[in-house]
Amino acid sequence: MMMTSEWAFILDEVDQLSDMIRQSDVYAALREAQQVVYSDAALVAQIQAFNDMKVQYEDVQRFGKYHPDYKTIMKDIRQMKRALDLDERVSQLRLAENNYQDLLDEVSIVIGKNVSQSVKVPVSNPFFAQDSGCGSGCGSGGSCSCSA
C-alpha cells in the first residue's frame, strides 16, 4: 500500500480525533480516578493481592470442587473482590472506565456509519449495539435482517 495524500489527510484527522478524546472531560475523569486509586500504596497492594489470587482461582477452576484448596480459595477470592467492590475509589475508577468505553464506542459507531451504513461495529455496551449495525439479533440464530 502506497502512502498518498488521502492517507496523510486521514492520519492527520485521526491525530486530531485522538487529541480531542484526550482533552475530553471523560478522559480527564478517568485519569483522575486512576491517579486516586494507584497513588494509594495500600490499595495497590490490595489490587495486586487480588490479581495474585485470581491466578490461584483459575487453577482451582480447572479442577473444580476436586481441588484440595477449592473452598478456601473460593471464599478468599470472594472476600477480596467484595472488599475491592466496596472501596469508593475503585468504584469511581470502574465508573470512569465505563464512561470512557462508552465514549470510545460512540466514536467508533460514528466512524463506522460514515464509512458505510452496513458496517458492524463491535461495542461493549448493548445500548449502543442496537445502533451499531444490524442490531442485537446478530449471532442469535438469524433473527435479524442482516446478511452475514
> Cβ atoms within 10 A of the Cβ of 93, count?
20
What is the torsion angle, in degrees rounded to the nearest 10, for the CA atoms of residue 48, residue 50, residue 51 and residue 57? 150
Q: Specify the pTM.
A: 0.74
Return the sign of the alpha-carbon dihedral for residues 27, 28, 31, 37.
Answer: negative
The pLDDT, as a whole number, for residue 1 is: 63
Q: What is the mean pLDDT of residues 107-133?
A: 77
pLDDT digits (tens, 9 = 90+) for 34-79: 999 999 999 999 999 999 999 999 989 988 888 899 999 999 999 9
Is a pLDDT exceeding 60 seen at residue 136? Answer: no
Return the sign of the alpha-carbon dihedral for residues 54, 55, 58, 59.
Answer: negative
